[in-house]
Structure 1
Amino acid sequence: MDLHRAAAPAWWVRRRLHEATVHRAAAAVSRSGRRFPIDPQWAADGVSEWLGLLAARPAADEPPLADGATLHLHATDDVPDGAGEWMVRGAVGRVVWEHGHGKGDAAVRGTAADLLQGVTRRIPADDDRLQVLGDAGVWTGWLARTGF
């Protein structure tokens, strides 16, 4: 069995489900003004998946984070196994990330669902659902340079 072919459909299903989730959440808010509930563990996986896509991009002239700059994302709800915290660092025009707690140049705190909607720019950078600590310019610069 070709493992590459077997893994490809799972990757695509995960990508499509996270994409549909953020679009559904945005549509619910715009239609009714109400939040769309997203399971914290699912939302945290969406953040991880998004970071994985960004980390796989080739080096950029204007990367999301300057070399050595750090961004800490922290889910405030209960996400098991440390999967609700991310340390993201600029490295030679790219980003690298890992799950973990640490001090970043900027830290963004919110529920996993709000972080997912924040990193995918479905809610504004200064939305009350997100608490930005440290250098807010790191967060807004990250958002300005991480679109698809």
Structure 2
Amino acid sequence: MKFGKAITSGFNKLYAVLSAVGLFIIALWMISYWLGFDIESAIDKKIRPENLYIESVKGGSLQQYTQEPLGKVLDTVFTDTKWSYYEVDGKYFVQFDGLHYTAEGNNVAKITFEVKEGANFEVSSIAVDGREFFEFEYVPFMNIVFNEYQSIGI
């Protein structure tokens, strides 16, 4: 009988501790929300940093084309799109993969963006059907993509 009371007493103490910790976390969450700090975003950045980088590229725009978010343009012009994130030597990259259907055939495009400080980014590489573009070809390629987006009229 004494053993059963000890277990019950232990569960009551554990329940009290867990309840206090839970209430403390809820109070901390509410105070930070009231102060304007977004805990969910901070946790998301720590747990899944790829979301931060991918969203900064998708929601951002290139200097020459500031009217539309880049993600909307690329996801409209290309099909079967995929966005991914990776890190190399302390640099952060977001890669876009998509298919482009033309009368000549299907083209597989891969555009890589290097994300800089402050959510700024730039085109790091472009490859279509495995052919790597030279840096001077980036702007004409993106001109074609944005012109096609404008011709679609979305």
- TM-score, structure 1 as length reference: 0.30
- TM-score, structure 2 as length reference: 0.29
Flag the structure with larger Rg: 2
Bigger fraction of residues in strand: 2
Bigger fraction of residues in helix: 2
Greater RCO structure (CA 8 Å; 6+ sep)? 1
